[in-house]
C-alpha cells in the first residue's frame, strides 16, 4: 500500500467550481475525512463478506441516504447527480470496492425510485438507505449485453402473478443481494417496447445463482437463473412494456457517476505518480527532474481536469437545468473511463517493476479501471449514443 494520503488541496480544488453549492462542498470534504478515518478495506479478505460489511458501514454512516429520496429515508428530496458524483469520486479515490458497494445501492434501487409503486418504495428504499438490504440491477444476458432489446429472459402473466424463465449474467452483487430489479421480455410489442421490470427477492423460489464469476478486480458477480419463478404482479415497476424506458432512465442518472468513479481512480493514480516521481532517485536526480516524466504528468493532470469538467457539467445540467443529459453523460462516461486508463497506465510505468506487484495501489487501480470501460455501456456504445443524439439534434 502507498504511504500517501489521498486527500490534498489539489483534489479539493474542483469543489470550488460553479457546478456545486456549499452542500456539495461539505459533502465532499466530510466524506473524504470519513474515508481517511474509517475506511480500512482488506483486499485479501473474502470479497462477499467485505462488500456486505461495506454496505452496512456506509449505511450506518449515512452515506447511502444519497441513493434514495428523502420521502423514503434518503438525504435529499430527489436523486442529485452532483452529490452522487462527488460521493463516488471520493470513495473511488480511497478504495474501489467501497465505491462499488455504494454505487450498486443506487443503481440497484434506482428503478424502484423512478417507477415503483408507493408500496414498493416503502418496502425496499428505507432498507437500501440504511444498508440493511443489498440491491442489484439485473439487465444483461448471455446474448444481450449492449443490445438490451435482444433479451430473451421472459415473464408470462399467470393470474395475479408473472412466471419468469431465463438467465441474467454479469450481475453485480449477484449472490449477496437481498433483491434484484430484473428486466424481462413480456411481449407487449416487438423489441425494446416489450420489456417490463420487476423487483424479485433473492429468496423467491425458482431464482438460483447458477454461477459465480471471478473477474480481474474482484467484486460479487454472478449469473442468475429463473425457472418458473413466480413473482406477484404487484412487484412490477411501472406499466407493462415500459421496462426498457425505466432501465434507460436509471442508467441516464447513474452513468455520470461511473465517470466520477473513473475520475476518482485517475486522481489517485496522479497522486501516486507525483509522489513516486518526487521520491524516486535515478542517475543523481529524481524521476521528476526528467522532462519525459514532466510531460507525462502534464498530460495526466490535463486529462483529469478535462474528465472532471465533462462529468460535472453533465451532472449540473441534469440537476440545475433539468435537462435530459443522455449525450453529455455518454461523453463524460466515455472520456473519463478511457482517459483514466491512460493516466493509471502512466502512473504504473513510473513505478517500474514495483507497479505490477500484486496489492500495490497502482496495480489495483489498473485492474479496477478496466471494467469501467465496459459496464453500464461500453465505450463503443457511448460513441454510438453521442452520434445518435447529434444526428437527432441536427
3-state secondary structure (DSSP) of residue 56: helix
Which residues are known to be catalytic? Answer: 376
Pairing of strands 161-172, 135-138: unpaired
Domains, the chain, ranges and CATH?
13-133 (1.10.540.10), 136-240 (2.40.110.10), 244-393 (1.20.140.10)
Distance, CA of 390 to CA of 39 (rounded, Å): 42
Looking at residue 394, its pLDDT comes to 62
Residue whose C-alpha cell is 470550488:
16
H-state helical runs in the chain: 9-12, 22-38, 47-61, 81-94, 96-115, 118-130, 243-279, 291-319, 326-351, 361-372, 379-393
Residues of the chain with pLDDT under 70: 1-12, 394
Nearest to 14 by CA among 363, 342, 304: 304
CB within 8 Å of 124: residues ≥ 6 apart: 109, 112, 116, 133, 135, 179, 199
Looking at residue 3, its pLDDT comes to 44
Q: Which three cell numbers stand for residue 28?
A: 465532499
Q: How big is the CA angle at 275 (ends 33 and 14), to the nearest 5 degrees?
A: 50
Q: Contact 113/69 with Cβ under 8 angstroms?
A: yes
Q: Contact 194/187 with Cβ under 8 angstroms?
A: yes
Pairing of strands 207-212, 154-158: unpaired
Q: Contact 117/44 with Cβ under 8 angstroms?
A: no
The string of pLDDT tens digits covering residues 109-153 is: 999 999 999 999 999 999 999 999 999 999 999 887 777 778 999
Nearest to 269 by CA among 310, 234, 299, 314: 299
Distance, CA of 224 to CA of 181 (rounded, Å): 12
Distance, CA of 15 to CA of 3 (rounded, Å): 25
The string of pLDDT tens digits covering residues 212-234 is: 999 988 899 999 999 999 999 99
Looking at residue 8, its pLDDT comes to 57
Phi, psi of 8, rounded to the nearest 5 degrees: -155, 175
Nearest to 200 by CA among 183, 186, 185, 221: 183
Looking at residue 320, its pLDDT comes to 94
Looking at residue 143, its pLDDT comes to 84
Which pTM was predicted? 0.93
CB atoms within 10 A of CB 376: 23
Q: Contact 89/51 with Cβ under 8 angstroms?
A: no
Q: Which three cell numbers stand for residue 5?
A: 494520503
CB within 8 Å of 218: residues ≥ 6 apart: 43, 47
Amino acid at each position: 500500500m502507498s504511504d500517501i494520503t489521498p486527500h490534498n488541496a489539489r483534489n479539493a480544488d474542483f469543489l470550488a467550481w460553479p457546478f456545486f453549492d456549499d452542500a456539495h462542498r461539505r459533502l465532499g470534504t466530510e466524506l473524504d475525512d470519513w474515508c481517511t478515518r474509517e475506511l480500512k478495506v482488506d483486499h485479501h479478505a473474502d470479497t462477499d463478506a467485505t462488500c456486505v460489511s461495506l454496505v452496512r458501514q456506509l449505511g450506518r454512516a449515512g452515506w447511502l441516504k444519497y441513493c434514495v429520496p428523502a420521502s423514503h429515508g434518503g438525504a435529499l428530496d430527489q436523486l442529485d447527480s452532483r452529490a452522487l458524483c462527488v460521493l463516488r469520486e471520493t470513495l473511488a479515490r480511497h478504495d474501489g470496492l467501497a465505491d462499488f458497494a455504494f454505487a450498486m445501492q443506487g443503481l440497484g434501487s434506482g428503478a424502484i425510485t423512478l417507477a415503483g409503486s408507493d408500496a414498493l418504495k416503502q418496502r425496499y428504499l428505507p432498507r437500501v438507505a440504511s444498508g440493511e438490504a443489498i440491491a442489484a440491477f439485473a439487465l444483461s444476458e448471455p446474448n444481450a449485453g449492449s443490445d438490451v432489446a435482444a433479451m430473451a429472459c421472459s415473464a408470462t402473466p399467470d393470474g395475479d402473478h408473472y412466471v419468469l424463465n431465463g438467465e441474467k449474467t454479469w450481475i453485480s452483487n449477484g449472490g449477496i443481494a437481498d433483491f434484484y430489479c430484473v428486466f424481462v421480455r413480456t411481449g407487449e410489442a416487438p423489441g425494446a417496447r416489450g420489456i417490463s421490470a420487476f423487483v424479485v427477492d433473492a429468496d423467491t423460489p425458482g431464482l438460483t445463482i447458477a454461477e459465480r464469476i471471478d473477474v480481474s478486480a474482484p467484486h460479487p458477480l454472478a449469473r442468475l437463473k429463473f425457472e418458473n419463478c413466480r413473482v406477484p404482479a404487484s412487484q412490477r415497476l411501472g406499466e407493462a412494456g415500459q421496462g426498457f424506458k425505466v432501465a434507460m432512465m436509471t442508467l441516464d442518472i447513474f452513468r455520470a457517476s461511473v465517470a466520477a468513479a473513473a475520475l476518482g481512480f485517475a486522481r489517485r493514480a496522479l497522486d501516486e505518480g507525483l509522489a513516486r516521481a518526487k521520491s524516486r532517485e535515478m542517475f543523481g536526480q529524481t524521476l521528476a527532474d526528467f522532462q519525459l516524466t514532466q510531460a507525462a504528468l502534464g498530460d495526466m493532470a490535463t486529462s483529469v481536469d478535462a474528465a472532471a469538467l465533462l462529468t460535472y457539467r453533465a451532472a449540473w445540467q441534469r440537476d440545475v437545468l433539468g435537462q435530459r443529459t443522455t449525450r453529455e453523460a455518454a461523453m463524460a462516461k466515455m472520456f473519463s473511463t478511457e482517459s483514466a486508463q491512460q493516466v493509471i497506465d502512466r502512473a504504473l510505468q513510473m513505478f517500474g517493476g514495483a507497479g505490477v506487484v500484486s496489492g500495490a495501489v497502482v496495480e489495483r487501480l489498473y485492474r479496477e479501471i478496466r471494467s469501467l470501460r465496459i459496464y453500464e455501456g461500453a465505450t463503443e456504445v457511448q460513441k454510438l449514443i453521442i452520434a445518435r443524439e447529434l444526428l437527432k439534434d441536427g
